[in-house]
Amino acid sequence: MLVWQKCIIFADKMNRNHSSRHVSILLLLLWLLTPHLASAYTDHRNAKVDSAEQVLSSGRTLTDRERMSCYYTIVRGTLGKDTKKHDLYAHKMLDLSYKIDAKNMRENALNHLGLQYYGQEDFEPAERYFLWAIAVTDSMRGDSRYSEQDIDDNYSQLYGALGNLYNLQDKALIAIEYYQKALPIFEKNGWLESQTILHHNVAELWLAMGNYAKAEQEYLKAIATGTKSGDSLMMALPRKGLVKIYLDQDNYTQALLTAGQAYDYYHAHRDDEHGDYAEVLASLTKIHLMDGHKNLTAARAYCAEALALDTDVLMFEVHADVQAAAAMLAIEEGRWQEALGHALSSVHQNDSDATYSDVGCYELLAHIYMQLGQKDEAARYIKKMRVMMECFATEHYQSGLSQMEVLYQTKEKEAEIEQLKRERQWYLWGGILTALVLLLAAVSFALYIHSQRLKRKTDLVLAKLEGEQAERVRIARDLHDRLGGLLTAIKLHTPAEAPTVPLIDEAVSEMRNVSHHLLPDSLSRYGLEVALRDFCSTMKNVKFAFSGTTQHIAYEETLYCIVHELVNNAVKSSQADHILVSLIAAPDYTAVNVSDDGIGLQSTDDHQGMGMSNLRERVAAIGGRLDVSSAPGRGTEINIELKNEKQ
């Protein structure tokens, strides 16, 4: 497969969370998770609200239960319609629930408040009310007034609502966490439709993050449960995602089989499923352009039908998919001007609206402009592609770290809650113990909690380090394989005497340097000494010194990344004339020293700031220690010491 073909197939999987079809599936899941809302949204809900308000204003004495019933009817009937009245009676309902100790009605009030804010896309208060409702549901356990079914219903509604809420905020990891909490409840109660939609939504999230293995696993589960429930739509919808995975993996035989199964459903429902049908037709067009399955007659037929469906009512992502497929067909047939028109239609016209889905189309446009001899335009789209890839990599990495931090804090809170429950029981039975036993137990418990927190914190830092290193490897590979190959292709199509040839050579050299220094190959082959020596040799005013025996040591990748960051910071900020990196490799320890003769750290805040704190955490996570010595005008010296472990 050509590079630009593979990029087009990959790019149409990105940013799927924002499509109107995907949002409709999320709302469908929310609907299934809140069955008590269904009766509220009928032609009679206004009459029910009016009737309840008349009862409240009738002047007759009402019991607390009767008053609560009226409040609940009004809250249900005004959800999504009358915000002011809804919130007024939801809070009345909440206040009364405390008076009469009605936990389930308290959960209902909080859930409805969360749904009201969710519908307004005001996510922060929605999250607060949903989490509050979960805490209330937790307190219902062990209360004989509430059945297991009552508690399951509450949890399933709330977990699903939170999953949707985080999904719409592009917090995929947290969304998956809450979807997975709802799954055991669905399975226990045999709710096949909810299971199917949940598996599909989770698959879409893994696909958007580029985790094909987990996405395929969830899509197949969605098909299996959809088959059990007899839901023909949910047997076809996951297959659309599977087709894109198989295309990207060059598994065209499986892609064609799966696309054919999806086509059978969408062709039969083409009047109702325009967007999904157009997506399937675009995929079939691409499959029939691939080596081993090339069938231009079939590709033309599928493409023509997809273009006929490509009207203003389709969302942009589907429109772009169809136009990209049409451009690929035109390229295959040598219709370059027509291919250009389709390719230009497949990208956002305003750069401010561009998403990662535009990357593949930028590469397609660069390929077309090269063939048309418009090298300036080709170079412009190559630059756009590079900028978008860098932005996406940074945002994806930062978002992943942020979500990992949230999940870590959530797990920590859950662990603390469970620990508090255990403490309560322990104190109940421990009242007969002597003061000495209580004291010893308390000390032991405190030490245990402290050690567990330290362990969780270390595990989180190590996970961050692994994620950082994996991201460096991925970015380096993408720069070398994709951008490097494209630049080489441009040079091959450029006359040797052209004035742009030196610029292309310079771009290739710079790209290779950046790719190499993200995580150099010499690090795994020859060890930390050679990698640091190579890195320092490329930096102005940076010298390297080594003492000891050349050997592989533990955590070489982490130490390299830390030194890389320290040197770059010194080059950018220290105003130093000389920077020295020293490595000591002793049999039982490794020491790294980075010193400069620059302006030094200007305040104690610089010594203890977020950047230095993060570095200390990373060093501590691998069992080392970081010390900083600096003063204004006297330079900076940073020393890292690590005990060696046997490889």
Mean confidence (pLDDT) of the chain: 78
Q: What are all long-range contacts of 192-196, with beta carbons under 8 Å and residues at least 24 apart?
A: 192/225, 192/226, 192/228, 192/229, 192/231, 193/32, 193/229, 193/231, 193/234, 194/29, 194/32, 194/33, 194/156, 194/160, 195/221, 195/225, 196/222, 196/225, 196/226, 196/229, 196/231, 196/234
Domain count, the chain: 3
Q: Please state the length of the chain.
A: 647
pLDDT at 637: 92
Q: How far apart are alpha carbons 553 and 122 in whole angstroms?
A: 50
β partners of residue 581: 544, 594
Q: Domain check: are 584 and 491 in the same one?
A: no
Q: Domain check: are 63 and 173 in the same one?
A: yes
Residue 638: inside a domain: yes
Phi and psi angles of residue 282, each rounded to the nearest 5 degrees, phi first: -65, -40
Q: Which domain holds residue 419?
A: 413-512
Report helix, strand and coil shares of the chain as percent, to nearest 5: 75, 5, 20
Q: At what angle do helices 358-371 and 3-11 cross, to 10 degrees?
A: 150
Confidence of residue 429 (pLDDT cuts 50, 70, 90): low
Q: How far apart are alpha carbons 79 and 116 in whole angstroms?
A: 6
Q: Domain check: are 167 and 59 in the same one?
A: yes
Instruction: Indicate which CATH number applies to the domain containing 602.
Output: 3.30.565.10
Is the pLDDT higher at 335 or at 645?
335
Residue 478: inside a domain: yes
Q: Domain check: are 496 and 568 in the same one?
A: no
Confidence check: pLDDT of 10 > 90: no
Q: Domain check: are 54 and 174 in the same one?
A: yes
Q: Domain check: are 160 and 70 in the same one?
A: yes
Confidence check: pLDDT of 5 > 50: no
Q: Domain check: are 167 and 98 in the same one?
A: yes
Segment among 62-71, 158-167, 541-550, 601-610 with least mean pLDDT? 601-610
Residue 613: inside a domain: yes
Q: How far apart are alpha carbons 584 and 582 in whole angstroms?
A: 7
Query: Mean per-residue pLDDT for 357-367?
Result: 78
- pLDDT, one tens digit per residue, over 366-403 is 888 888 888 888 888 788 777 776 665 555 544 554 55
pLDDT at 272: 79
Torsion angle defined by CA atoms of residues 448, 454, 455 and 456, in that order, rounded to the nearest 10 degrees: 110
Confidence check: pLDDT of 631 > 90: no
Q: Domain check: are 469 and 574 in the same one?
A: no
Residues 35, 36, 39, 45: is their CA dihedral positive or negative? negative
Confidence check: pLDDT of 114 > 90: yes
Three-state secondary-structure class, residue 34: coil
Q: Domain check: are 419 and 491 in the same one?
A: yes
Confidence check: pLDDT of 358 > 70: yes
In sequence order, which ranges of 190-295 are alpha helices (DSSP H)?
Answer: 192-208, 212-229, 232-248, 252-268, 274-287
Residue 110: inside a domain: yes
pLDDT at 85: 93
Q: Domain check: are 437 and 542 in the same one?
A: no
Question: Contact 248/228 with Cβ under 8 angstroms?
Answer: no
Torsion angle defined by CA atoms of residues 281, 282, 286 and 287, in that order, rounded to the nearest 10 degrees: -30
Q: Domain check: are 177 and 61 in the same one?
A: yes
Q: Cα separations (Å) of 328 from 3, 510, 532?
A: 12, 31, 45
Residue 483: inside a domain: yes
Confidence of residue 2 (pLDDT cuts 50, 70, 90): very low
DSSP annotation of 632 reads T
Confidence check: pLDDT of 37 > 80: no
Provide Rg for the chain, Cα atoms.
Answer: 30
Confidence check: pLDDT of 19 > 60: no
Q: How far apart are alpha carbons 518 and 513 in whole angstroms?
A: 9
Is the pLDDT higher at 280 or at 450?
280
Residue 246: inside a domain: no
Residues 142, 144, 150, 152: is their CA dihedral positive or negative? positive
pLDDT at 35: 42
pLDDT at 137: 93
Q: How far apart are alpha carbons 133 and 150 in whole angstroms?
A: 13
Residue 363: inside a domain: no
Q: Domain check: are 165 and 48 in the same one?
A: yes
Q: How far apart are alpha carbons 276 and 321 in whole angstroms?
A: 11
- pLDDT, one tens digit per residue, over 463-484 is 665 666 556 556 655 555 556 5
Q: Which of 132, 157, 189 is a domain's end point?
A: 189
- In DSSP notation, 471-496 reads HHHHHHHHIIIIIHHHHHHHHHTS-T
Q: How far apart are alpha carbons 393 and 474 in whole angstroms?
A: 9
- pLDDT, one tens digit per residue, over 43-87 is 445 668 888 899 989 888 999 999 999 999 999 989 888 999 999
Q: Which of 455, 487, 512 is a domain's end point?
A: 512
Confidence of residue 519 (pLDDT cuts 50, 70, 90): low
Strand 589-596 with 624-630, pairing: unpaired
Is the pLDDT higher at 550 or at 13?
550
DSSP annotation of 19 reads S
Instruction: Indicate which CATH number applies to the domain containing 142.
Output: 1.25.40.10
pLDDT at 551: 73
Chain Cα centroid distance, residue 503? 37
Q: Which of 155, 189, 223 is a domain's end point?
A: 189
pTM of the model: 0.52
Is the pLDDT higher at 551 or at 297?
297
Query: Mean per-residue pLDDT for 608-624?
Result: 78
Query: Mean per-residue pLDDT for 541-567?
Result: 84
Chain Cα centroid distance, residue 500? 39
Residue 233: inside a domain: no
Residues 55, 61, 66, 70: is their CA dihedral positive or negative? positive
Query: Mean per-residue pLDDT for 177-184?
Result: 88
